[in-house]
Amino acid sequence: MSYLNFIGGEWIPALSGDTFENRNPADRSDLIGLFPDGGAADVAAAVDTVSAAWPDWAARGPEARADVLYKAADIISERIGPIAAELTREEGKTLTEARNETGRIAANFRFYAGEALRLRGETYPMPEGQVALSLREPVGVVAVITPWNFPLSMAARKIAPALAAGNGVIFKPSEMTPLMGQRLVEVLLDAGLPQGLLALIQGRGPGVGKAITATPGIDALTFTGSYAVGAQIAKALTTDTRCQLEMGGKNATIVLDDADLDRAAAIIRRGAFGLTGQACTGTSRVLVARRHYAALVDRLTAAAEGIAIGAGTREGIDMGPLATGAQLEKVKAYLGIAAQEGGRITTGGVPDASDAPGDGFFVRPTVVSDLPADSRLLRDEIFAPVVAVRAVEDVDEAIAIADDTEYGLAVSVVSNDLAAVLRLAGKTRHGVVKVNSPTTGVALNAPFGGFKHSSNQSAKEQGGANVMDFYSRIKSVYLGG
């Protein structure tokens, strides 16, 4: 099946006529569809139409904007089954994971519908007969560039607050999950979103993504993806385009001396191997008190071996494939690096053709132990179900190793020692600290974002007022005088 871009209220092909194909990562013979491969001309057209549409949307007022988002939440709730099935087919995650993500969209739409009604300014003390106040207004045209690992929920938590604040949106989904971008736009249109307010431009990063950073008229850009791409975006944008970048992570779970090891293993299993390890907050390192090291490695090895891998559409499957062939090659390369560094793979690896559950991009949940302190597996982001385990002497060494990476997104600690937990939370250079829970999973009403190369730290994602500050701007007004 062939799909189209949505620009100016019309479904149209890429102006160049170019297309690209997308296939099921669990079954490479399964063609999902042909999608338009957009470029600079498509972006320029979208900027024109969205620029013309957003002032009317802003003028409708917060209740009208909230109403559309509430309707969109109701529609997505009715479509969870079929959209989740398509998400599994396109991205590879299990049906349970896909249903959870699809339901998350509805939650995001409802939350930000409420935020539309909570936008407000302030008044300020002035001499008698004068009033100073602030007005909050939309920034204008917001470009949204989203990744493939959470193609629905990441897009919803960017598009929903942008629309709630009165902006127009140019949406570029990942070329690995273009169908999910299509489905999300369809939901918003069916909810009554004005036709020209939201533009969908499918295409690959070097075409559409590069054009978005070079086209005048985009007032704000929000991006989630790799640090390499985020750094290119930041360099390309002019100073009058506000920019929000959420990028990589190399997240650690720290297991302290007092931890219950069965509990710790269950927490790490979920954080490291859920979603095929393809979450920006996924656990990729375990730093464990030395006396528990061998026992925890044994527990993690057993936990990994109990995970059933295969196509996410099958019953009884716990973990689907990696999303791309490039990811699979990256895993192979890092397992080779682990061997060179003296690491021991206690379980997992890439199955050979005779042992694979299909012709997709499959890798077994993998545990690597006995790594040196300077191991690349303890520093580099792999973005796969591969977890490196290292012994530490105390909480201070754990903090030092956890922070010894260019990323600073999420860290979790398994312990009931309040003093040690507070010490870690206060010292670590990570934007998210979790206690006795996996590094994955965050509340939509709490701020989210990292430090160092994990974020440009201009604004947090998710949460309430702090998010709306990015999608709106303040104007000061003086009355009297």
What is the number of helices (H) and of strands (E) in the chain? 14, 21
The predicted pLDDT at position 481 comes to: 67
82 & 231 share domain: yes
The predicted pLDDT at position 88 comes to: 97
Digit-by-digit pLDDT tens for the chain (481 residues) are: 899 999 999 999 999 999 999 999 999 999 999 999 999 999 999 999 999 999 999 999 999 999 999 999 999 999 999 999 999 999 999 999 999 999 999 999 999 999 999 998 899 999 988 999 999 999 999 999 999 999 999 999 999 999 999 999 999 999 999 999 999 999 999 999 998 999 999 999 888 999 999 999 999 999 999 999 999 999 998 878 999 999 999 999 999 999 999 999 999 999 999 999 999 999 999 999 999 999 999 999 999 999 999 999 998 999 999 999 999 999 999 999 999 999 999 999 999 877 778 889 999 999 999 999 889 999 999 999 999 999 999 999 999 999 999 999 999 999 999 999 999 999 999 999 999 999 999 998 999 999 999 999 888 888 877 889 999 999 999 998 6
Alpha-carbon Rg for the chain, nearest whole angstrom, is 23
User: Domain tally for the chain?
Assistant: 2
Pick from 398, 402, 391: which is nearest to 251 by CA? 402
Predicted model pTM: 0.95
Q: Indicate which CATH number applies to the domain containing 334.
A: 3.40.309.10
474 conformational bin, left if phi > 0, alpha if psi -120 to 50, beta if neither: beta
310 & 427 share domain: yes
Residue 53 domain flag: yes
Token digits for 293?
A: 């090291």
User: Tokens 């009554």 — which residue?
Assistant: 192
The predicted pLDDT at position 238 comes to: 80
199 & 314 share domain: no
Options 246, 315, 393, 406, the catalytic residue: 246
237 & 259 share domain: no
Name the residue range of residue 274's domain: 251-435
The predicted pLDDT at position 5 comes to: 98
Interatomic CA distance for residues 287 and 160, integer angstroms? 37
241 & 281 share domain: no
118 & 57 share domain: yes
Residues 6+ apart with CB under 8 A from 60: none
User: CB-side exposure of 275: number of CA atoms within 13 Å?
Assistant: 26
425 & 385 share domain: yes
294 & 190 share domain: no
The predicted pLDDT at position 373 comes to: 85
User: CB-side exposure of 16: number of CA atoms within 13 Å?
Assistant: 18
DSSP string, 361-410: ---EEEEEES--TT-GGGTS---SSEEEEEEESSHHHHHHHHTSSSEESE
**Are 273 and 320 a contacting pair, CB within 8 Å?**
no
Pick from 145, 413, 447, 380: which is nearest to 268 by CA? 413
313 & 408 share domain: yes
The predicted pLDDT at position 64 comes to: 97
Residue 443 domain flag: no
313 & 183 share domain: no
Other C-beta atoms closer than 10 Å to the C-beta of 189 total 19
Q: Is 246 a catalytic residue?
A: yes
The predicted pLDDT at position 353 comes to: 77
Residue 308 domain flag: yes
